[in-house]
């Protein structure tokens, strides 16, 4: 038996970033631990170490993030992995000259309107998203966890910074509805949340059949940290590089994640 | 705990191609198992940041619109006895901060003191320019980089406070954006349509062939878009160094731009400019959420404008009922279809400091 903080994540677009080199910015179907911890850090109001020049401050903020990464275990139940979407993304920037050619732009407007078009360079990228994905997250506190689960729960209800599902352009489209519960295993802790369930009472009952077809939540995917309490058998163990070690150096350690399909029968 | 200002906008665009993918077709997405048109978050932000409305709203409507500020500065410096060559260089340095200067011209010696396009000077900026010119005259020296940067402080600050800055080569200046913008998605099922077009050659007399001189295809789509923006008011104040007046103007400028500025893509072909007909602003400290779920079931044809407003407000009420013990956030709205509400009053209310109902 363990205590869990459980909450739901739904948005029309979400993006759980994978290893991204250059132009291609892929996304995984399962929430990454770094992104979920980032969301918790935003709720708590932890700062990004790369937004200060004070060395001591940086060190302290870096330590706070590290404590989060080490302090909690994570499990996820993905009832709707969502359809993939690749967004073709372009951004224009003027060449940065040096010496006498160096131009100073006060705003983005100046950057785009003062320069002749041929002096603007286009940067391309392809960014993966998931559409209409729904997942439930359970966190448990490990030895030395920096905050009790109740604190995380309260901060999620009244966060310090805006929350988002992987990218800042992906705001949650349902309240996270956090709860702290004691359960025997992650599969029990994660029970009772589903998009269809979440929208009951929110969407007109007469409308439900129309979107029901779209919400096949009968075969959820479970993902969990290897120290989870569970009676599920891992069908697959993957190594994801999503355990934050240094925000400043943008470094992530490898984390082992177990995965299994698990039709609970009560999944709706 | 922070105060969040959430904006929900409904904007209907006639046939348009506002935001294109690599195949030159409007961007799309699937929600509720149904295809929709989409305008990406970054496309919206670029359009707002680069808009004249945003710049004007930020400086306030009082002030001067001119290309000739540089000439005035030059005249002031020259009249005070600064040598012509230096007076010109200094005036150019100052005017150049407000717009790109015109090129040098043989028989118009003052041409390169003028800005290419009309620039807006707020009363504060005029005072700052005058004060700087006085300093230059009394000390007989050129303006320094920090002095010049100060002239457009409010523009720089507002732009970066809202949309953030990430400099790979100078991370000390990184700023976290105070504003979150979601991708805009149509509230209804919408497919990308194809316009097959031909262009005739006016000098072709049909003697040899009567074919067209050019054939092409252009993807387009019309749609009623739901747009969501969330501003972290505390972060905005912090990013602006606690300047409450500027924070208030920045919020108003953003609402103005979000409701009235469309991306510029293919505007010459489609002239699809549109304003939001419905704007809902909510203020409060609880966890922000978009209301896109209202449109998971696509709005059907017919009375779409009203239906979209109705399902949006009923989703808002239902979410409050289910998750927040029926406690609504403080809010204001305008509805141009019903002729209800006042946009200026909404902006003023939204920009007020603190979480007052």
Give whole-number Cα distances, A223 to A187, A237, B316, in Å: 10, 9, 32
- Kindly calculate the radius of gyration of chain A based on its CA atoms and give it in whole angstroms: 21
Please tell me the predicted confidence (pLDDT) of residue A262: 76
Q: Which of B32, B155, B171 sits opposite A214 (nearest CB)?
A: B32
Mutation for testing the A interface, residue in B228, B323, B325, B326 having most A CBs under 10 Å: B323
Instruction: Tell me the nearest-neighbour CA distance from B29 into chain A, angstroms.
Output: 7
Residues 131-190 of A with CB under 8 A from B: 131-132, 156-164, 168-177
Residue B251 pLDDT exceeds 70: yes
Q: At what angle do helices B153-163 and B52-59 cross, to 10 degrees?
A: 120
| pTM attached to this predicted model | 0.92
Phi, psi of A87 (to 5 degrees): -100, 125
B180 to chain A, any CB pair closer than 8 A? The answer is yes
Residue B230 pLDDT exceeds 50: yes
User: pLDDT band at residue B356, thresholds of 50, 70 and 90?
Assistant: very low
Please tell me the predicted confidence (pLDDT) of residue B104: 87
B29 to chain A, any CB pair closer than 8 A? The answer is yes
User: pLDDT band at residue B124, thresholds of 50, 70 and 90?
Assistant: confident
Question: Who's near B85: CB < 8 A, 6+ residues apart?
Answer: none
Give the SS3 label for residue B28: strand
Q: Give the pair of three-digit tokens for residue B307.
A: 């239906």
| Inter-residue contact A94 to A135 (CB < 8 Å) | no
Q: Do B41 and A169 touch (CB under 8 A)?
A: yes
Please tell me the predicted confidence (pLDDT) of residue B304: 95
DSSP at A252: E
**Residue A61 parent element (H or E):** helix A55-71
Q: Which of A91, A161, A175 sits opposite B323 (nearest CB)?
A: A175
Residues 84-123 of A with CB under 8 A from B: 85, 87-89, 91, 104, 106-110, 112-115
Question: Who's near A249: CB < 8 A, 6+ residues apart?
Answer: none
Residues 201-260 of B with CB under 8 A from A: 228, 230, 232, 235
Q: Which of A87, A131, A201 sits opposite B322 (nearest CB)?
A: A201
Average pLDDT, chain B: 91
B50 to chain A, any CB pair closer than 8 A? The answer is yes
Domain chopping of chain B, boundaries: 4-62+177-351, 65-156
Q: Is the dihedral of CA A170, B317, B5, B248 positive or negative?
A: positive
Give the SS3 label for residue B129: helix
Q: Which of A109, A160, A164 sits opposite B50 (nearest CB)?
A: A109
CATH architecture of A2-83+130-261: 2-Layer Sandwich (3.30)
Which chain A residues are within 8 Å of B149, Cβ to Cβ? 104, 106
The segments of chain A whose pLDDT lies below 50 read 265-268
| Inter-residue contact A129 to A104 (CB < 8 Å) | no
User: pLDDT band at residue B336, thresholds of 50, 70 and 90?
Assistant: very high
Residue B355 pLDDT exceeds 50: no
Q: How far apart are the first and last CA of chain A?
A: 25
Cα three-residue angle B70-B72-B74, rounded to 5 degrees? 70
**Residue B186 parent element (H or E):** strand B184-186
Residue B307 pLDDT exceeds 60: yes
Residues B48-56: what's their mean pLDDT?
A: 91
Name the residue in chain A with its Cα closest to that of B3: A160
Instruction: Tell me the nearest-neighbour CA distance from B59 into chain A, angstroms.
Output: 13
Please tell me the predicted confidence (pLDDT) of residue A79: 92
Q: Which of B1, B55, B145 sits opposite A109 (nearest CB)?
A: B55
Give the SS3 label for residue A46: coil
Please tell me the predicted confidence (pLDDT) of residue A99: 62
Could you give the CA distance from residue B134 to residue B93 in angstroms, rounded to a whole number?
15
């Amino acid at each position: 038996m363990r205590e869990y903080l459980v909450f739901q994540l739904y948005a029309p677009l979400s993006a759980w970033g994978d290893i991204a080199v250059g132009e291609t910015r892929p996304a995984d179907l399962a929430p990454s631990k770094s992104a979920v911890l980032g969301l918790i850090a935003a709720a708590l109001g932890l700062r990004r170490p790369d937004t200060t020049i004070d060395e001591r401050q940086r060190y302290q903020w870096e330590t706070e993030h590290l404590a989060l990464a080490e302090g909690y275990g994570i499990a996820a139940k993905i009832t709707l992995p969502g359809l993939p979407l690749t967004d073709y993304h372009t951004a224009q920037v003027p060449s940065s000259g040096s010496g006498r050619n160096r131009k100073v732009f006060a705003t983005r407007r100046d950057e785009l309107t003062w320069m002749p078009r041929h002096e603007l360079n286009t940067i391309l990228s392809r960014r993966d998203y998931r559409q209409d994905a729904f997942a439930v997250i359970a966190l448990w506190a490990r030895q030395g966890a920096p905050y009790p689960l109740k604190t995380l729960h309260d901060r999620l209800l009244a966060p310090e910074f805006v929350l988002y599902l992987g990218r800042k352009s992906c705001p949650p489209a349902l309240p996270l509805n956090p709860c702290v519960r004691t359960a025997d295993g992650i599969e029990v802790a994660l029970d009772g949340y589903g998009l269809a369930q979440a929208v009951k009472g929110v969407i007109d009952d007469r409308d439900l059949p129309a979107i029901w077809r779209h919400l096949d939540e009968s075969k959820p995917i479970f993902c969990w940290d290897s120290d989870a309490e569970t009676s599920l058998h891992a069908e697959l163990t993957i190594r994801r590089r999503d355990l934050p070690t240094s925000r400043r150096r943008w470094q992530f350690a490898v984390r082992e994640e177990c995965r299994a399909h698990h039709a609970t029968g009560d999944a709706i | 705990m922070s105060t969040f200002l959430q904006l929900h906008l409904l904007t209907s665009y006639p046939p348009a191609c506002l935001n294109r993918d690599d195949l030159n077709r409007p961007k799309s997405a699937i929600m509720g198992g149904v295809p929709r048109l989409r305008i990406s978050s970054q496309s919206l932000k670029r359009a707002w940041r680069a808009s004249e409305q945003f710049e004007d709203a930020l400086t306030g409507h009082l002030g001067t619109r001119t290309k000739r500020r540089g000439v005035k500065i030059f005249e002031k410096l020259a009249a005070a006895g600064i040598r012509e060559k230096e007076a010109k260089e200094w005036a150019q340095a100052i005017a150049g901060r407000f717009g790109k200067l015109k090129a040098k011209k043989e028989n118009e010696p003052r041409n390169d003191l003028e800005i290419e396009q009309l620039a807006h000077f707020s009363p504060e900026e005029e005072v700052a320019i005058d004060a700087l010119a006085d300093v230059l005259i009394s000390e007989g020296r050129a303006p320094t980089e920090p002095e010049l940067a100060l002239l457009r402080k409010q523009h720089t600050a507002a732009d970066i406070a809202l949309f953030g800055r990430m400099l790979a080569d100078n991370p000390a200046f990184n700023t976290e954006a105070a504003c979150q913008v979601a991708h805009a998605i149509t509230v209804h099922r919408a497919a990308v349509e194809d316009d097959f077009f031909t262009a005739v050659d006016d000098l072709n007399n049909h003697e040899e062939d009567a074919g067209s001189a050019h054939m092409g295809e252009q993807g387009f789509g019309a749609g009623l878009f739901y747009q969501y923006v969330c501003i972290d008011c505390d972060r905005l104040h912090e990013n602006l160094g606690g300047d409450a007046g500027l924070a208030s103007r920045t919020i108003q400028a953003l609402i103005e731009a979000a409701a009235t500025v469309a991306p510029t893509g293919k505007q010459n072909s489609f002239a699809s400019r549109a304003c939001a007909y419905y704007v809902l602003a909510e203020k409060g400290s609880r966890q922000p959420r978009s209301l896109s779920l209202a449109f998971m079931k696509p709005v059907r044809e017919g009375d779409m404008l009203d239906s979209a407003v109705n399902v949006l407000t009923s989703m808002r009420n239902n979410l409050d009922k289910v998750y927040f013990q029926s406690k609504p956030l403080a809010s204001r709205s305008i509805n141009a279809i019903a002729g209800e509400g006042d946009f200026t009053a909404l902006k003023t209310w939204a920009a007020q400091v603190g979480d007052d109902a």
